């Protein structure tokens, strides 16, 4: 099993992405090919889960679009991911926050983690 991991690490070029987890609000810049043209589309939402490890690792982002919940699964090592920006760090107690699917409006809000900076 270790041999498979070593070979897959060499074959798959890992993206340099910031650390994020469930509850964080992120903006994923994703490359889309339409015919011969290529453009970057941004998908902003809350990360509801990170799954697996290594080359098969994925994360799911959920956003509300016109009152309808839209979820998209992104592979971490995808060559189509251009950039991931973390806009808010969410304060959640679970690794998978599927309860967000039933919530809308004020009950769907996630508290933000407080960031303390060292003053000199």
Give 27-78 pLDDT, tens digit per residue: 999 999 999 999 999 999 999 999 988 888 999 999 999 989 999 999 999 9
Q: Report the 10 Å Cβ neighbour count for 54.
A: 13
Task: Provide the residue ranges of all domains of the chain, joining segments of one domain with +.
Answer: 20-92
Q: Would the pLDDT of 114 be above 70?
A: yes
Q: Token pair 């589309």 is at which residue? A: 41
4 falls in which pLDDT band (50, 70, 90)?
confident
Architecture of domain 20-92 in CATH?
Answer: Roll (2.30)
Beta strand residue intervals within 4-117, DSSP E? 25-34, 37-51, 58-65, 68-75, 81-88
pLDDT for 5 equals 73
Q: Would the pLDDT of 15 be above 70?
A: yes
DSSP state of 22: T
How many helices and strands (H and E) does the chain possess? 1, 5
């Amino acid at each position: 099993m270790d041999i498979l991991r070593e070979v897959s690490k060499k074959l798959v070029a890992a993206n340099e992405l910031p650390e994020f987890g469930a509850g964080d609000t992120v903006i994923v810049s994703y490359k889309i090919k339409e015919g011969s043209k290529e453009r970057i589309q941004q998908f902003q939402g809350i990360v509801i889960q990170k799954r697996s490890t290594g080359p098969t690792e994925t994360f799911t982002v959920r956003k509300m679009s016109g009152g309808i919940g839209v979820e998209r699964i992104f592979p971490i090592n995808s060559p189509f991911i251009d950039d991931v920006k973390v806009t808010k760090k969410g304060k959640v107690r679970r690794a998978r926050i599927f309860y967000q699917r039933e919530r809308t409006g004020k009950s769907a809000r996630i508290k933000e983690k407080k960031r303390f900076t060292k003053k000199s």
